[in-house]
């Protein structure tokens, strides 16, 4: 592998400047030197940022699984590709070598083909964090099926929305999943979801919990007997660089979830390059990212990035607090983890517990530790640095999004001096800019603005499945010609970036992006509710929690409030999932609205935060008196 690796800040700047001056040459070299292609590209990149049309490595032919698995077999066949650490520490960990991974993916790919799945068909994967999840994702990529992994914490109705939107033909699930002390009945959630999904013809079921499940004749089959009969090798499908690789849903500020579509070659090049550089990965390292493969972090940095680099990657089924608060640290100790990548919400929840949970384990193998998902607050940063990294492991605070495919702004370990709460500098090849309200680029340092990226990079999502117009409007219209991230940021005196949070109606709760609109829709479906508005407010552990302002219908006025709160939260749980439950619900008689009928969320946000100092300009409010009422009734 010959991705460039910079050794000093000076080298970084040299490299960075080159990547901005000659982006085509920069990416051409990385793609050329580090992957196996059936056919190389005619053109490195072709784009029209106004129309949101972007193509990388035009006309190249490739299969990403050949690059993740096959090409490593000669040198690394017996090396561990995946370490599976089960939910229950008493269950033995599994070490899956590259040879074994090849066989398992080949068999799975053959099963999918036998079931009639062809290139371009959509497959929904709804599985817990077990090796079959990785195998299923890779098997789809092997045969060119477009997979849509749905996080196994989503409810039946949320899964159904996603299956319907992408028109999946087949679902891969399991009888159930273990999560801490709980067992989640995944198959029965799928059964309920599929009542609304006419496109699904087949369901393949992995046995994990031995829970009793209902198997529908003609539709459902146990996966294992099919795998037992399958041939252990498979010729990979030849994919065009721009053929879709996967769809992954993310919340929007309005309407239904957005199916972000990533394509093959650009995503491959970008995840491999970023993984290698940001985690300073070396041949015998053991890398662990605690995310779920149901989120982009799991796609890019549990599966693709590590496997493309021939790395050993840990898949962890459990949760940080089970069987006790020492679990993360015990796993690092047990598997001699060298790079550890987690989320601020996990750090905060563990930092609340006794230090001895960490200090009783040997973490001396760690070299680099990372954070992702939301801004990391100063206190959590220091705790992570002191207790986990022991002040000797650089913290890579990595800023990126489902839409960006891979990490965009992050320190490079041992190169970029870190600064708490700062994601620091863009990776070579990435050109961030801050924009003001008049849509002008803000030059210079010590400035704040809306974070945009002004030149495409290989990992950028290409569209929203089935709705290119929405893709264009959401990301390329606010600041014409630029990709708008939806985040605000500041640039300090030396040019370091600090992400200040979302500027739209998305709230990040425990690292999960939640659009407020779908939650409001779910609440409004409750028969006693007339209208609602959801905002985020700061929470010690979750980063943000949800605060709901709810107007009841006349028929709901006399109802017992406790019961109503419970019912409303059940409604949210069943429509979106338990992660979207509201921490606080305040019943109000009206919501502050502008003359054009828009809820002024900025005011509600301030009230939820308990900050009454300055509501800003309220002159456009139709009903200013409501603000006082809401303030007085605040919980």
Site residues for ligand 6R9 per CB under 6 A: 250, 295-297, 371-375, 397-402, 423, 485-487, 499, 502, 508, 513
Nearer to ligand 6R9, 310 or 389 (CB): 389
Nearer to ligand 6R9, 326 or 486 (CB): 486
Q: How far is the CB of 343 from ligand 6R9 (least distance, A)?
A: 8
Give the C-alpha separation, 468 to 59, whole Å.
21
> The tokens of 351 are what?
């930092």
Q: How far is the CB of 631 from ligand 6R9 (least distance, A)?
A: 28
Nearer to ligand 6R9, 357 or 496 (CB): 496
Nearer to ligand 6R9, 144 or 432 (CB): 432
Nearer to ligand 6R9, 252 or 428 (CB): 252
Q: How far is the CB of 369 from ligand 6R9 (least distance, A)?
A: 13
Residues near 497 by beta carbon (within 8 Å), at least 6 away in sequence: 399, 409, 422, 423, 424, 425, 426, 432, 451, 489, 490, 491
> The tokens of 160 are what?
């159904």
Helices (H), 279-427: 296-298, 305-308, 327-335, 344-351, 356-359, 378-383
Q: How far is the CB of 225 from ligand 6R9 (least distance, A)?
A: 37
Q: How far is the CB of 247 from ligand 6R9 (least distance, A)?
A: 14
Nearer to ligand 6R9, 82 or 506 (CB): 506
> The tokens of 635 are what?
């919980």
Q: How far is the CB of 336 from ligand 6R9 (least distance, A)?
A: 26
Backbone angles phi, psi at 88, to 5 degrees: -90, 115
Which residues is 146 bridged to in the sheet? 122
Give the C-alpha separation, 240 to 320, whole Å.
40
Tell me the angle at which helices 23-34 and 9-21 cross, rounded to the nearest 10 degrees.
110
**Residue 619 CB: number of other CB atoms within 10 A?**
8
Q: How far is the CB of 16 from ligand 6R9 (least distance, A)?
A: 19
Q: What's the angle, vertex CA 404, arms to CA 400 and CA 410, rounded to 5?
A: 30
Nearer to ligand 6R9, 213 or 545 (CB): 545
Q: How far is the CB of 302 from ligand 6R9 (least distance, A)?
A: 12
Residue 246 DSSP SS3: strand
Nearer to ligand 6R9, 373 or 518 (CB): 373
| CA atoms in the 13 A half-sphere facing the CB of 151 | 23
Q: How far is the CB of 629 from ligand 6R9 (least distance, A)?
A: 32
Give the C-alpha separation, 597 to 592, whole Å.
9
Nearer to ligand 6R9, 110 or 398 (CB): 398
Nearer to ligand 6R9, 208 or 470 (CB): 470
> The tokens of 26 are what?
């920069």
Q: How far is the CB of 407 from ligand 6R9 (least distance, A)?
A: 8
- Where does residue 613 fall: left (phi above 0), alpha (psi -120 to 50 degrees), or beta otherwise? alpha
CA dihedral 464, 469, 475, 479 (to 10 degrees): 170
Backbone angles phi, psi at 218, to 5 degrees: 85, -20
Q: How far is the CB of 305 from ligand 6R9 (least distance, A)?
A: 12
> The tokens of 483 are what?
């990709």
Nearer to ligand 6R9, 323 or 501 (CB): 501
CB 263 within 8 A of CB 247: no
Instruction: Find the residue with minimal CB distance to ligand 6R9.
Output: 402
Q: For 372-520, where are the E strands, in sequence order? A: 395-397, 432-435, 447-453, 463-464, 483-491, 497-502, 506-509, 512-515
Which residues is 258 bridged to in the sheet? 250
Give the C-alpha separation, 611 to 328, whole Å.
36
């Amino acid at each position: 592998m010959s991705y460039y690796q910079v050794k000093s800040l000076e080298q970084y700047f040299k490299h960075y400047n080159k990547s901005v001056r000659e982006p085509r040459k920069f990416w051409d070299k990385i793609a050329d030197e580090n992957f196996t292609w059936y056919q190389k590209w005619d053109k490195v990149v072709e784009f029209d940022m106004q129309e949101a049309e972007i193509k990388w490595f035009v006309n190249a032919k490739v299969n990403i699984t050949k690059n993740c698995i096959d090409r490593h077999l000669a040198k690394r066949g017996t090396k561990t590709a995946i370490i599976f650490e089960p939910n229950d520490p008493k269950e033995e960990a599994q070490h899956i070598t590259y040879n074994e991974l090849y066989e398992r993916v080949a068999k799975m790919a053959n099963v999918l083909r036998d079931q009639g799945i062809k290139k371009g068909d959509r497959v929904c994967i709804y599985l817990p964090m077990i090796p079959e999840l990785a195998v299923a994702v890779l098997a789809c990529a092997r045969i060119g099926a477009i997979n849509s992994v749905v996080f196994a914490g989503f409810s039946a109705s949320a899964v159904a929305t996603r299956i319907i939107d992408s028109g999946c033909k087949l679902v891969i699930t399991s009888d159930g999943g273990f999560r801490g002390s709980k067992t989640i009945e995944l198959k029965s959630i799928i059964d309920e979801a599929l009542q609304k999904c006419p496109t699904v013809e087949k369901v393949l079921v992995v046995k994990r919990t031995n829970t009793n499940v209902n198997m529908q004749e003609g539709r459902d089959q146990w996966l294992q007997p099919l795998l037992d009969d399958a041939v252990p090798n498979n010729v990979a499908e030849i994919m065009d660089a721009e053929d879709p690789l996967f769809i992954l849903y993310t919340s929007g500020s309005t309407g239904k979830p957005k199916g972000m579509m990533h394509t093959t070659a650009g995503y491959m090049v970008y995840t491999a390059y970023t993984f290698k550089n940001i985690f300073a990965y070396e041949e015998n390292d053991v890398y662990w990212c605690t995310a779920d493969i149901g989120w982009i972090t799991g796609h890019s940095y549990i599966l693709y990035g590590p496997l493309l680099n021939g790395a050993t990657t840990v898949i962890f089924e459990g949760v940080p607090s089970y069987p006790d608060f020492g679990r993360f640290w015990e796993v690092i100790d047990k598997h001699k983890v060298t790079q550890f990548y987690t989320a601020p919400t996990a750090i905060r929840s563990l930092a609340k517990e006794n230090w001895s949970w960490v200090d009783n384990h040997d973490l001396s193998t760690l070299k680099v530790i990372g954070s992702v998902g939301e801004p990391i607050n100063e206190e959590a940063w220091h705790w992570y640095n002191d207790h986990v990294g022991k002040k000797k492991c650089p913290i890579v605070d990595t800023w990126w999004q489902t839409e960006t495919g891979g990490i965009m702004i992050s320190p490079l370990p041992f190169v970029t001096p870190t600064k708490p709460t700062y994601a620091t500098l863009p990776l070579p090849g990435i050109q961030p800019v801050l924009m003001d309200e008049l849509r002008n680029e803000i030059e210079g340092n010590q400035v704040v603005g809306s974070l945009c990226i002004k030149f495409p990079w290989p990992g950028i999502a290409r569209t929203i499945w089935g709705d290119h117009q929405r893709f264009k409007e959401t990301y390329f219209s606010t600041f014409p010609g630029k990709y708008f991230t939806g985040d605000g940021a500041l640039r300090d005196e030396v040019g370091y970036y600090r992400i200040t949070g979302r500027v739209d109606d998305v709230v990040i709760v425990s690292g999960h992006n939640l659009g407020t609109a779908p939650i409001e829709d779910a609440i409004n479906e409750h028969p006693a509710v007339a209208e609602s508005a959801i905002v985020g407010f700061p929470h010690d552990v979750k980063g943000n929690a949800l605060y709901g302002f709810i107007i009841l219908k006349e028929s709901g006025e006399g109802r017992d409030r406790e019961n109503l709160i419970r019912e409303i939260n059940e409604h949210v749980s069943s429509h979106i999932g338990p992660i979207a439950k509201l921490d606080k619900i305040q019943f109000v008689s009206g919501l502050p609205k502008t003359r054009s009928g828009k809820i002024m969320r900025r005011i509600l946000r301030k009230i939820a935060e308990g900050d009454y100092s300055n509501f800003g300009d309220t002159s456009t409010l139709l009903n200013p008196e409501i603000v006082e009422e809401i303030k007085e009734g605040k919980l």
